[in-house]
Structure 1
Amino acid sequence: MSSILVTGGTGTLGRPAVTRLRATDHQVRVLSRTAGSQRGPDAPDRVVADLTSGTGLAAAVEGADVIVHLATSQGRRDVQHARNLVAAATDVKHVIVMSIAGIDRIPLPYYRSKLAAERVVAESGVPYTILRATQFHNLIDRVLSAQRFLPAVIAPSISLQPIAVEDVAVCLAELVDQPPVNGRAPDIGGPERRAVPELARQWKQARAVRRPVVPLRLAGKAFRAFADSAAMVDGPAYGRITFGEYLA
């Protein structure tokens, strides 16, 4: 049994990851900026620290064998978070970093920040593994849902390979029980490669939306990279849960 510290453990991926790790009998603590409810299920195993300032990190990391770094600021402070985390993790046996497939080929500001954060960890000297995954099902759901005030559902004319956070959590639990790669683990993606307009029509039916789906092509290097399948992964699919099963 390992002592594991999870950053971002209350987030979209963090919740199923913590549940999965606890199911494998690991001792799991969740890093949080606030103590939260002292009556909540995570209260006994929640440690308070600030990844941005570094306050409390040394104490939070103490005694951890493995850190599973899932926290993200959507790029704004991800590099600073990585610097502060590895500075405090000098005695940790394994730091596992969650990242995104294709960030070295898709020129988006958030992706550049994630790539820079990967480099910080790789150059720190701590034993590490980087796991890149394709877009989560809930991200596509959220992007489509955010268009609720538009007269149509806009869907970029690209294909994606979305994956369920539960499937990513399984992979993270597997990596915890393996030695550090000191590099990237194989990228993981969902079981289907689907055009976004097709995913949007599936979402429309599941959510009982009447507005039409309108495919959209955009100019620019980022769109071309997505259109060239830069956000998908090579090899067999890792995930098992389809977007349709997620919607159901």
Structure 2
Amino acid sequence: MSVVLVTGGTGTLGRAVVPALRARGHDVRVLSRRAGSEAGRIVGDLSSGAGLDRALDDVDLVVHAATANGREDVRQARNLLAAMRPHQHLLAVSIVGIDRIPLPYYRAKLEVEELIRSSANPWTLQRSTQFHDLVARIFALQRRLPVLLAPDFAVQPIDVRDVAAQLAALASDPPGGRAPDLGGPAVRQFRELADVWRSARGSGRRIVPLRLPGKIFAGYRSGAHTVPDRAVGRITFEEFLGTGSGNGGG
């Protein structure tokens, strides 16, 4: 049984990773900036580095699932690596397409990957496509608009439970460098997903395609963030929303 520290263990992905690891028999610690009653929670701050030495005591593996959604990710990764012992395995989550789409957040994630690759620690990197949660959040943030905007490109959303299951499997393996990418069940147009979300919410708003100029949108239009040959996720967007199995259309 390994002792595993999960960063971001109370976040969107981390909440699925922790039970997946425990189901495989690992002794799991959850790093958090705040104390809590959750089993295994330990206080530490990735941004300042406070508490990391204590949190890493006797740890075999770190699953780095935390994100600050920007440049702060680089600082956090640097602090984590500085505190880790040389023998400790780092298993980090990243995003498909970060080396091909010039989104500022993706540039930060790519820099994090470079820090990990150049570190003294054994490591494994797992990239995945965007989460169902992100797609749903994009639609939910438009609740005050009279229409529902759908970016005019396709995505391959994946459920965090599918990603968590893969991370838990990798946690039992030796360091493997960059693992094969993870993609959701199918590549689907954003407009199609907007229709699914609209139906699930009982909304009659008209769906309007959103097209933007520039290299970022062009990168998404090219499909650089998808991996059709790695459609390994099983849970569809419909199942995520609780509305059915979906048609798996691409």
TM-score (structure 2 length as normaliser): 0.94
Residue pair 2:152, 2:191 contacting (<8 A) in 1 also: yes
Map 1:4-153; keep pairs closer than 5 Å: 4-36=4-36, 40=37, 42=38, 44-153=39-148
For residues 3-59 of structure 1, the C-alpha deviation after alignment (integer angstroms, 9 at most, x for no partner) is 0000000001001100111111110000011112xxx3x2x4111111111111111
Matches within 5 A, 1:185-200: 185-200=179-194
Q: Could you list the per-position Cα deviations for residues 110-148 of structure 1 after superposition, in whole angstroms to 9, with x for gaps in the alignment? A: 110111111111111110011110000011001101000
Alignment counterpart, residue 215 of structure 2, candidates 204, 210, 221: 221
C-alpha displacement of 1:92: 3.9
The one-letter code of the counterpart of 1:193 is V
Residues 137 and 246 in structure 1, CA contact (< 8 A), matched pair in contact too: yes
Q: Could you tell me which residue of structure 1 aligns to residue 234 of structure 2? A: 240
Q: Report if the CA contact (8 A) 2:74-2:108 is conserved.
A: yes
Identify the range of structure 1 (116-125 vs 2-11) with the bigger mean alpha-carbon deviation. 116-125
Alpha-carbon separation, structure 2, partners of 1:178 and 1:27: 16
1:89-123 deviations in Å (ceiling 9; x for gaps): 12443100111110000100111011111111111
Q: Which amino acid aligns with 1:117?
A: V
Q: CA deviation at 1:75?
A: 1.2
Given that residues 155 and 215 in structure 1 are in contact (C-alpha distance below 8 angstroms), is that contact kept between their aligned partners in structure 2? yes
Query: Given residue 212 of structure 1, which amino acid in structure 2 is its aligned partner?
Result: R
Q: Do 1:67 and 1:92's aligned partners in 2 also have CA atoms closer than 8 Å?
A: no
In structure 2, distance between residues paired with 1:80 and 1:205 = 41
Aligned AA for 2:123? Answer: Y
- Aligned residue identity for 2:168: A
> Whole-Å Cα distance in 2 between the matches of residues 192 and 92 of structure 1?
38
RMSD (Å) for aligned C-alpha atoms? 1.0
Q: Aligned in 2, Cα 1:4/1:92: closer, same or farther, shift over 3 Å?
A: farther
Q: Partners of 2:192 and 2:142 in 1: how far apart?
A: 16
Whole-angstrom distance in 1 between the partners of 2:180 and 2:100: 16
Residue 76 (structure 1) shift: 3.1
Asked if 1:154 is matched to 2:149, the reply is yes
Aligned residue pairs: how many?
242
4+ long deviations beyond 6 Å: none
Confirm whether residue 204 of structure 1 aligns to residue 198 of structure 2: yes
Does the 8 A contact of 1:64 with 1:92 survive in 2?
Answer: no
Please give the alpha-carbon distance, in whole angstroms, between the structure 2 residues aligned to 1:92 and 1:234. 35
- Asked whether the 8 Å contact 1:50–1:56 carries over to 2, the reply is yes
Distance in 1, Cα, partners of 2:87 & 2:53: 11
Q: Does 1:166 pair with 2:194? A: no
Q: Separation in 2 of the partners of 1:80 and 1:61? A: 18
Deviations, residues 200-225 of structure 1 (Å, cap 9, x unaligned): 01110011111111012111101111
Seen in structure 2, the aligned counterparts of structure 1 residues 93 and 234 have a Cα distance that, compared at 3 Å, is: farther
Unaligned runs of 5+ in 2: 243-250
Partners of 1:161 and 1:62 lie apart in 2 by 38
Runs (5+) with no aligned partner, structure 1: none
CA contact (8 A) 1:187 1:233 kept: yes
Q: Secondary structure at the match of 1:31?
A: strand
Q: CA deviation at 1:235?
A: 1.9
**3-state SS of the aligned residue for 2:229?**
coil
